[in-house]
Amino acid sequence: MKKIFVSILIIISGYDAAGQQLPQFTQYMINDYVFNPAIAGIESGYQVKSNIRNQWVGINHAPRTTVLSVYGKHRNTNVGLGGVVFSDRVGPTSRNGISLSYAYHFSLSDAMKMSLALSGGFSQMKLDPHLIVKHKNDPVTSGGILNSTVPDATFAFNLYTKKWFFGASIPQLLNSKMGFFEDDYLEVYNLDPDGSLERHYFIIAGYKWTINQDYLVEPLLLVKSVEAVSPVVDIGMRTTYQNK
């Protein structure tokens, strides 16, 4: 099998920096399971995929994201299983997570199928206050690195035929709150105690266009949205050559 991946990225509007809670990818078409666990089980067998993203190479504490996913169809059934582990580092913050997913596939017609998926796991957020606080005597630095581990979940669905697919997912479904500071510290410094993992909303769609016996072109669309932040629209294209 020979594959050529051609990526075209069009940003309609960008995330505000404060809204980025989930790992950011531009090559989403290579590992779409990360955005929609309902994709697990469409293809027979299991797939193992990894993404590594380094930004601003050479700069200390620059963003770095690593993801490993395993997913596929469970034997000869309508069930898809999968799992993801990830590490995401941005400046003074880092986030590690693990999740497992279950998807069930059923027919809506002779040509169309639908899958529903639910994933669950844990996320750990770490904050190094020494990288953001200039005064050594500030009480926030007295305890070293702050961390909080909370449960996490995602709901997703996917409609698909042999020619196209359309799906959506809601990561951080539980809206879990990260507890970094003690209540008395929050009161003294008048800080927002919420620190919630905001629900995100993803829409992903694609169409398979057969050019000839050698080339298959797949235009792809990904829409990412989170409350109080302008949505992002990514348009990409995947080309497969001699898929035998």
Number of domains in the chain: 1
Domain annotation covers residue 46: yes
CA–CA separation, 104 and 114 (whole Å): 8
Q: Which single residue is written with the structure tokens 């059934």?
A: 77
Helix (H, G, I), strand (E, B), or coil: what is residue 188? helix
Residues near 165 by Cβ (< 8 Å), separated by ≥ 6?
39, 42, 158, 159, 204, 205, 206
The model's pTM: 0.81
Domain annotation covers residue 240: no
What's the mean pLDDT in 79-99? 92
Check residue 97 and give its pLDDT: 95
Domain annotation covers residue 11: no
Give percent above pLDDT 70 in the chain: 77
- CA distance to 17, 186, 191, 192, 195, per residue, from 181 (Å): 22, 7, 9, 10, 10
What's the mean pLDDT in 42-65? 85
- CA distance to 85, 90, 100, 101, 171, per residue, from 121 (Å): 10, 21, 6, 9, 11
Domain annotation covers residue 219: no
Token reading at 59: 């700069």
Is the predicted pLDDT of residue 228 greater than 90, yes or no?
Answer: no
Q: Which single residue is written with the structure tokens 């994709």?
A: 39
Is the predicted pLDDT of residue 99 greater than 70, yes or no?
Answer: yes
Instruction: Answer yes or no: are the C-beta atoms of 81 and 105 closer than 8 Å.
Output: no
Query: Residue 174 sits in which domain range?
Result: 23-199
Check residue 52 and give its pLDDT: 85
